[in-house]
Amino acid sequence: MKIKSLYISGEKRNVGTLFVSFGMMEILKRNIHRVAFFRPIIFSKDVYDKDIDFILKRYNLDMKYEDTYGFDIDYVESMIASKQLDELINQLIEKFKKLEKSYDFILCQGIRRSFLNSTIGYDLNMTIAQNFGSAIINIINAKDLSIHEIYENILIESENIRTHDCSHFATFVNRLDDEKHLQLKEKLKNNNTATYLLKEVKELDIPTIEDVMDALHAKPILFLQKDNTRVVRGFKIATQSVENFLEQLQEDDMVVVSPDRSDIILAIISTFYSKEYPKISGIVLTSDMQIHPNIQKIISGLKNYNVPILSVKIDAFQTAKSLLDVYSRLRVTSERKIALALGLFNSSADIKAIEAKIETQMSEVMTPMMFEYKLFEMARLNKKRVILPEGSDERILRAVEIILRRDAADIIILGDEDEIRENIRKFGLDLSKALIIDHLKSELLEEFTNTFYEMRKEKGLTLQGAKDAMIHVNYFATMMVYTGHADGMVSGAVHATADTIRPALQIIKTTPDVRIVSSLFFMCLKTKVLVYGDCALNQDPNAEELAQIALSCAKTALAFGIEPRVAMLSYSTGESGSGKDVDKVREATKIVKSIKPDLNIEGPIQYDAAIDKKVASIKLPNSKVAGEASVFIFPDLNTGNNTYKAVQRSTNAVAIGPILQGLKKPVNDLSRGCGVSDIVNTILITAIQAGQK
């Protein structure tokens, strides 16, 4: 029997309850539309609960804050002290059952036992989970325990759950070093309980600039929103001479300095542009003083200067004391840490086994969040190498870090290696797992030149022309895909669409069953994901080409878990209209039916009849597609491009694409106005396409 609620219990401090909670929520939200988060006991109803706040914002849960918790500690302890435990449990059950009526699944997070009065001599979390009928996930902090102690704790907690007649879902053992991880893995070989071992990741405990700002109550002077996530590995109080100060600097230090130390400030500016010095994470100016106007003038005139500057009201001594209060906190804005944590969680837990045990009945509902989570999981399960020829772009580098931390794909970056590595340091990123290739210095350049020459010499290409082409990053990257050094390519953040597609058509070419390369967008609406094709490439396809676009889109939709119900769009529905444009769509529909008779397809059909069941019941009452279409094929580029942009802007839909289809190996194009999330999604889709070839 599948379960519909989970109860996460971690008894000790720093056990990682939030970490496991959002790892499980990631799985739940990938499969289930309406998920609730509930904390039976919170620390205080007068203080906003940070874990609840994180989950509500991160997963955009449709819940009021007051419905996410039961009671605070004071109320719970007073009820227990007055011997009203049964009444307390009944009140909690009432709140829980209210959520059960409105949601498909409930994820509960218990409270640490150490927060409760020491006179409470039983496991309250276990009692609550038992009465909720929730399966239990228990977490063990292994940091200061021996292997024997960890193993004993696993057995003891498992037995404790069993004696309370609760269902034991899984045990997570957190904060293991490499040696303990190997030893425990060996010791648990014959253990039948689902036990997942999570390694210690030091960066999760390293504070960020946002943590520093909170602890010091600092205000930003020179600051960008993306600076929030930069890590701060250490602090340096600048009291010495410039020479001695520079000798002590280390990577990702935050420097605390008085604003009247212009010599130190100028030295820090110099280190930013020097390859010989570490890149600091930021500067804190003390005593609420301003930098000298001449220094401000220097900073404002510098190109690409990117060292955050903060200001505090207190002096250097008080600031140094306050630094003791700085600690790492997981926030909804901590995308870099979230990516790192989820990469650890997904590589450690048996995701398929977890999904098999929870209630994940298929639903027609597919939110943008659900779809994007699915992309990560599909890519992770069949990891491929994606090459990015635009390594000089900051957006590309930030997207790569997310992909690598989520362990969703292997990445190759093309460009000037020294420049790329310097930018990585300047932006405070970790791309240590990426392969960086300077194509102009690569030993493959000559080989690729000769290969391209042999491919195209009959079309008039000279050897020099082949060499000139391979110097271009997109041609070199495409040849990397063609020769198997990479599985797919993503470009277009700084290059035109033609610069991305032309090399692909010349080198990779189309699959034998496809005569035309086309594109589609995944249009992620509020509760469904639709496929729009072709809205980016083919200006005015004829009937045969339109049929091919429809077949390609249906195939791609199915590959990404969308049942293809294809609407061949026109200004007329059924037999009601005529004319060249309608006849083209009608003919294309007939061609598709002749090639793939089992495909649900309707055409010509108007957009309203394709998507609205009421309209469909009037215009095409017996159609299997009308009112329920999932794939929309537009008759020409003008119609498709305008429609996708109108839907995107009018409904706040997430448009993922354009995704190219029909090539032997995947190559995808980005918009030059793309954001980091657009690049991440396109890399994921490219990796998934590569895994399906």
Mean pLDDT along residues 172-178:
92
| pLDDT tens readout for residues 270-296 | 998 888 899 999 999 999 888 888 988
347 within some domain: no
Domain assignment of residue 589, given as a range = 511-662
- Based on the fold, state whether residues 164 and 18 are members of the same structural domain: yes
Name the residue with tokens 């930030």: 398
Kindly report which listed range (104-118, 411-425, 435-449) carries the lowest average pLDDT score.
104-118
Last residue of some domain: 183, 204, 225?
204
Mean pLDDT along residues 612-622:
90
532 within some domain: yes
| pLDDT tens readout for residues 68-93 | 999 998 999 899 889 998 999 999 99
Work out the percent of the chain whose per-residue pLDDT is above 70: 97
Q: Strand runs (DSSP E) across 259-400, as ranges?
A: 282-285, 309-311, 385-388
- Based on the fold, state whether residues 371 and 440 are members of the same structural domain: yes
Residue 604: asked if its preceding bond is cis (omega within 30°), the reply is yes
**Angle (nearest 5°) at CA 228 between 223 and 231:** 115
CATH number of residue 192's parent domain = 3.40.50.300
368-397 burial, b if ≥16 CB within 10 A, otherwise e?
bbbbbbbbbbbbbeeebbbbbbbbbbbbbb
Q: How far is CA 118 from CA 109, 143, 145, 309, in A?
A: 20, 24, 23, 45
Instruction: Give the pLDDT of residue 33.
Output: 84
333 within some domain: no
Question: How many domains does one find in the chain?
Answer: 4
Instruction: Give the pLDDT of residue 113.
Output: 65
Q: Is the pLDDT of residue 564 over 70?
A: yes
- Based on the fold, state whether residues 378 and 500 are members of the same structural domain: yes
342 within some domain: no
Q: Which amino acid is at 357?
A: K
- Based on the fold, state whether residues 544 and 622 are members of the same structural domain: yes
Last residue of some domain: 149, 177, 204?
204
Q: Which two tokens stand for residue 306?
A: 């990117």
- Based on the fold, state whether residues 197 and 227 are members of the same structural domain: no
CATH number of residue 678's parent domain = 3.40.50.10950
331 within some domain: no
- Based on the fold, state whether residues 543 and 643 are members of the same structural domain: yes
Burial bucket for residue 70 (CB in 10 Å: 0-12, 13-18, 19+)? buried
Mean pLDDT along residues 392-408:
95
* pLDDT tier, 422 (very low <50, low <70, confident <90, very high otherwise): very high
Instruction: Give the pLDDT of residue 356.
Output: 87
110 within some domain: yes
Q: What is the pTM of this model?
A: 0.86
Provide the 10 A C-beta neighbour count for residue 195.
17
Asked if 527 and 33 touch (Cβ cutoff 8 Å), the reply is yes
| pLDDT tens readout for residues 233-268 | 999 999 889 999 999 999 999 999 999 999 999 999
- Based on the fold, state whether residues 306 and 188 are members of the same structural domain: no
CATH number of residue 309's parent domain = 3.40.1390.20
| pLDDT tens readout for residues 349-368 | 999 899 888 865 545 677 78
Last residue of some domain: 149, 169, 204?
204
Q: 573-582: list long-range contacts, CB under 8 Å, 24+ apart.
A: 573/604, 573/605, 573/606, 573/609, 573/619, 573/620, 574/604, 574/605, 574/619, 574/620, 576/619, 577/604, 581/635
- Based on the fold, state whether residues 231 and 164 are members of the same structural domain: no
- Based on the fold, state whether residues 546 and 519 are members of the same structural domain: yes
- Based on the fold, state whether residues 43 and 170 are members of the same structural domain: yes
652 within some domain: yes
CATH number of residue 530's parent domain = 3.40.50.10750
Mean pLDDT along residues 309-317:
92
- Based on the fold, state whether residues 602 and 499 are members of the same structural domain: no
Name the residue with tokens 């914002």: 57
| pLDDT tens readout for residues 29-82 | 888 889 999 999 998 888 899 999 999 999 989 899 999 999 998 999 899 889
- Based on the fold, state whether residues 60 and 129 are members of the same structural domain: yes
351 within some domain: no
